[in-house]
Amino acid sequence: MRTIKRIALALVIIGAINWGLIGLFKFDLVASVFGGQGAFLSRVIYALVGLSGLACLSILFNPVEEVEVDTNHQSYRNLNYDTEFGEETDFSKLRESSNEDSVEKKSPENKNRNSTKEKK
């Protein structure tokens, strides 16, 4: 099934390029390669591109497939989780000391002390 989807996608891309050429330059590449729009081979290509577009609708509505991880690859053998699962730093002490500093700065006694220091 995967091969069919790739072939369908390739044909849709060919159709998109052909439509882009028609829109921009009024040049039908499929018709010029296979002998005009009425030629049997041109009609077959147009039909295959149309069917491929319908087949690619399934790609549009399918959920995204998960990528399989190759666990035998060298880079996956020695994973380093030190930062992810290591010891966490205790920031609560830091927070407490910063709160005490801010309380000291806000108290009226400290304001008077600071203002007298500034005057000297």
Model confidence pLDDT, tens digit, residues 73-100? 555 556 555 555 566 666 677 766 666 6
Is the separation of the CB atoms in 91 and 54 below 8 Å? no
Dihedral class, residue 36 (left if φ above 0, else alpha if ψ from -120 to 50, else beta): left
Is the separation of the CB atoms in 9 and 18 below 8 Å? no
Q: Which candidate, 14, 12, 23, 21, places its Cα nearest to that of 50?
A: 12
What's the CA gap between 31 and 41, in Å, rounded?
A: 9
The 10s digit of each residue's pLDDT in 17-62 is: 999 999 999 999 999 999 999 999 999 999 999 999 999 998 888 8
What's the CA gap between 106 and 13, in Å, rounded?
A: 69
Residue that has been written with the tokens 């005490």 in this structure? 100
Residue that has been written with the tokens 């930062």 in this structure? 83
What's the CA gap between 25 and 6, in Å, rounded?
A: 28
Amino acid in position 49: V
Is the model more confident about 34 or about 2?
A: 34
